[in-house]
Amino acid sequence: MNENKAQALPFKGSIEAAKKLSEIREDADIIQLSHAIFPGTHCPLFGALMVSSYVKDLAVLNIGTEECTFYGKDFARLRQKGKDLVFSLVTHKNDITFGMHEKIKNAVQWIVEMHQPKAILLISTCVVELIGEDVGAVTETLESAWGIPILFVKTEHFKCNSHIPGISDTMAMLVKLMEKKEKQHHVINVLGHRFDGFAENELAKLLEKYGVSVNMSIPSDCSATQLREAGHASLNIVTDFTALPLAKAMAEKLDQPYVLFEKQLMPERILQGYAAIGKYLDLDWMDEVEQMYNHAVQTMAFARKALEGQRFIYGNTPMKALECAHFFCELGMKALWVQMRELYADDTGFIADILATGNDPKVSRIANIIPMRDVYDLYQPDVYIGHESPMILIRKNIKQLTFDQEASALGFQLTLGVIEKIKQVYQADSSARMHAMGSANPHSQSHPHLQSHPHAARHPKDVAGHLHGVSKGGFA
């Protein structure tokens, strides 16, 4: 650590105050590194739109300020490539005094007449909830007027600290569209997958191979009409913890059991997930699953040879923070810092797993990157996992890993995809550094680009070279 530089770091105090993972007992132990936050977490509206915009035939009425509706629509449009059915109803100053019931009724009428959806979701946002507008009170009237289900979800951000409640509540609300049906043997639903192309997944392909058909993937591949048929499945496979409230509601309403098969990276956990599904569905697939498991374990072992000692800061990925951090620790990497949204019920196990690898990183809240830039200077990581300004990381000679594409996978495919991405990033970094050195004059040792980065001297071995070798031996 550069002591002189460290003393000049403005957030040094709060960085020192952040607790280590071993000291985290409850959510309140995860501190925010500053009072002024940038960019801040996403809100439940974001989560609600992320889920609901996938469901075809489901119109969504976003009720809120110009900002909530403008940016919400923009997000849903981009996410669904213009095929969303998200509409906006703007709350004006007069509505705070006179209420919005009539406006909501008129808006629903317009949507029904113009677009004939099979159901409508009403989303109330911060201002609507703050003024105490009872949007839920109009749903029954609207249902009897238009003969379609009207769902309702609240998304006020002042009661929580992330978009997760918006995802969970919206998913859970979908149960209202479902009807009890006769169960079909070897038919399942997938709950919680929020990426396109579920059929291309390892889990989907394996299920198909063993005679199991996917009734629907909720929300990524379903419609309001199809959701009525969700009750045909004999099992729900939950791929994201945010779908657990829906799974529980479906268990109660439709008598459907569920099994967790989350987006996880550690082969042991994936193996357990496949075993649980196999047990429920009575599938004789463990020989094949174990082969896949062995391949993933072997690939991890090869990668470990190259990554041992690489120091990382975890920012964010679509995966669970601590499960993901544990995976990187198992790759021999050293966890310096982990940013977390909040502490979840199953995090205790992941904490124990990370500590067992000899790592005890510091922990702070997610989505507050300005003070984190002091953390980079103090802790000097080799790699940052998550979203940050690439230019800032390049200037500090920190590699960046993001897994937005890879995260659409499930099962061992996810583990392998993530390792492949690491390989690509390290190879690209190595090439860039080789290029920088090669293009310098014969006194390349004093190349200003390399000199300005203390890390340049901290790489006694060429990690990318190792990964390249691994690629030939193990990945290809």
Partner 1 sequence: MIYQYYPIASCRMGALWTLSDIADSCIVEFGPAGTTHFSIEGMSNLNAEPPSHGYTTHISERDLTFGDTSRLEKALMEVDQHQNPKYIFVMGSTLSSIIGTDIESICMMMETKVKAKLIPVKSDGFRGDFTYGIEEVLMLLATHVVRSVDEAEKKPLSYTLVGTTMDVYSGRSDIRAIKELLYNLYGATCHTVFTEGSSVDSISNAAFAAVQIAMRKEAHKACALMEKAHEIPYVTALPYGLGGIEAFCEEIESKTGWVRNQAYHQTEISKLKGIVRRVMEHLKDFGPLRVMVSGNIDTVQGVNKLLSEFGISESVGLVNHIVKNCPEGIYDQATETVKHEVLNKYSPDLILGDAVLIEFAKCRSTSVRWTHQISNPNLDQVNISHQKPLMGIEGMRYIGEWLLNI
Does 428 bind partner 1 (CB under 8 A)? Our answer is no
CB under 8 Å to 356, separation ≥6 — which residues? none
Q: Give the β-pairing of 213-219 and 362-365.
A: unpaired
Does 46 bind partner 1 (CB under 8 A)? Our answer is yes
CB under 8 Å to 3, separation ≥6 — which residues? none
Closest contact distance (angstroms) between CB of 297 and partner 1 is 38
Size of the site for partner 1 (CB under 8 A): 51
- The single residue among 3, 4, 16, 36 that binds partner 1, judged by CB under 8 A, is 36
Other beta carbons within 10 Å of 13: 10
Does 127 bind partner 1 (CB under 8 A)? Our answer is yes
Does 445 bind partner 1 (CB under 8 A)? Our answer is no
- The single residue among 45, 204, 340, 419 that binds partner 1, judged by CB under 8 A, is 45
Does 389 bind partner 1 (CB under 8 A)? Our answer is no
- The single residue among 27, 31, 70, 377 that binds partner 1, judged by CB under 8 A, is 70
Closest contact distance (angstroms) between CB of 278 and partner 1 is 41
Other beta carbons within 10 Å of 204: 20
Q: Is the separation of the CB atoms in 324 and 265 below 8 Å?
A: yes
Closest contact distance (angstroms) between CB of 163 and partner 1 is 7
Does 35 bind partner 1 (CB under 8 A)? Our answer is yes
DSSP for 363-383 reads EEESSBHHHHHHHHHHH--SE
Q: Which stretch binds partner 1 (CB under 8 A): 156-164, 298-306, 349-357, 434-442?
A: 156-164
Name the burial class of residue 458, with classes exposed (0-12), middle (13-18) and buried (19+) by CB atoms within 10 angstroms of its CB: exposed
What mask of x and - would describe binding to partner 1 in positions 455 to 474, judged by CB under 8 A?
Answer: --------------------
Closest contact distance (angstroms) between CB of 5 and partner 1 is 15
Establish whether the linkage from the previous residue to 371 is cis, with ω within 30° of 0.
no
* Site of tokens 């949507």: 111
Does 52 bind partner 1 (CB under 8 A)? Our answer is no
Point out which residues pair with 232 in neighbouring strands. Answer: none
Point out which residues pair with 59 in neighbouring strands. Answer: 120
Closest to partner 1 by CB, 72 vs 315, is 72
Does 122 bind partner 1 (CB under 8 A)? Our answer is no
User: For residues 416 and 397, what is the distance between their CA atoms, to the nearest angstrom?
Assistant: 26
Name the burial class of residue 175, with classes exposed (0-12), middle (13-18) and buried (19+) by CB atoms within 10 angstroms of its CB: buried
Does 17 bind partner 1 (CB under 8 A)? Our answer is no
User: For residues 18 and 11, what is the distance between their CA atoms, to the nearest angstrom?
Assistant: 11
* Site of tokens 């569209």: 177
Closest contact distance (angstroms) between CB of 203 and partner 1 is 31
Residues 310-369 that bind partner 1 (CB under 8 A): 367
User: For residues 159 and 333, what is the distance between their CA atoms, to the nearest angstrom?
Assistant: 37
Q: Which stretch binds partner 1 (CB under 8 A): 69-77, 187-195, 398-406, 443-451?
A: 69-77
* Secondary structure of residue 214 in the 3-state scheme: strand
Structure tokens at 199: 């059929």
Q: Which stretch binds partner 1 (CB under 8 A): 19-27, 73-81, 245-253, 334-342?
A: 73-81
Other beta carbons within 10 Å of 431: 11
Does 242 bind partner 1 (CB under 8 A)? Our answer is no
Does 152 bind partner 1 (CB under 8 A)? Our answer is no
Closest to partner 1 by CB, 273 vs 315, is 315
Q: Which helix (H) or strand (E) holds 74?
A: helix 66-79
Does 157 bind partner 1 (CB under 8 A)? Our answer is yes
User: For residues 42 and 165, what is the distance between their CA atoms, to the nearest angstrom?
Assistant: 11
Closest to partner 1 by CB, 167 vs 422, is 167
Does 90 bind partner 1 (CB under 8 A)? Our answer is yes
Closest contact distance (angstroms) between CB of 51 and partner 1 is 16
**Contacts with partner 1, residue ranges (CB under 8 A):** 10-11, 34-46, 61, 65-75, 77, 82, 87-90, 92-93, 96, 106-107, 110-111, 126-127, 130-131, 157-159, 161, 163, 367, 370
